[in-house]
Amino acid sequence: MLNPPLDCPSCGLRAKVDSAYCAECGFPIGQLRGEKADPLIGRTLAGGYRIVDRIARGSMGEVFRAEQANLGRAVAVKVMSPTLVADPQMVSRFHNEARAASSLNHPNCVRVYDYGETPDGRPYIVMELLQGQELAALLARDRQPPVSRVLDITLQVLSALDEAHGLGVVHRDLKPENVFVLPQRGGGDLVKVVDFGLAKLKSNSRATSGSGLVFGTPEYMAPEQAM
């Protein structure tokens, strides 16, 4: 059963259902629900990625903050849910995300550094750690941001999609929850398109969703994708 949403006691933002941390300020929302620490926390994965804490949870798995010891940098590690590992279709989709994102080298696309498996056989993706908020969280707080900001964010998203489409990658699940907005020191926003789990690669014309199944978010899905 999903946990009920909570308001962050630090900044007041309504946290997503089952979020471990506030998307706005990073407050550990999960502690308010009495959640136990994940067994991966404190472990070091192949490649020297030491898991520090969990920062998000989604339908495909969990995202952890980790430290890469040999380079001294913080990274994000997305680990597949143990309940999905036995499903070859879900594993293929997870691997597809890694392949799609790693093929992109663009300032508005999330960067993927590595791919591997935990000791218990769960696939994981190592990517850049984004210090910002989902566009969905931004819009929940400010329903009418300035037009100039809207245009800037939109143009950056389009730039990311243009790069992806030029390399034969179609996202197929673009929505505010999959767009991160990062504040810049000099002002303005840096936008990152994330979550390429449903992406279609030109080099692999077979859909990862399987025959007769439709994946995506109906409110943001292209009509031809639902057919």
The residues assigned a catalytic role are: 173
What is the spatial distance between Cα 30 and Cα 199, in angstroms, rounded to a whole number?
30
- Dihedral over alpha carbons 77, 152, 106, 48 (to 10 degrees): -20
Q: Which residues contact 150 (CB under 8 A, 6 or more apart)?
A: none
Spatial contact of 179 and 153, defined as CB atoms under 8 Å apart: yes
Burial class (CB in 10 A: 0-12, 13-18, 19+), 47: middle
What is the spatial distance between Cα 216 and Cα 210, in angstroms, rounded to a whole number?
13
Please tell me the total number of residues recorded for the chain in this structure: 227
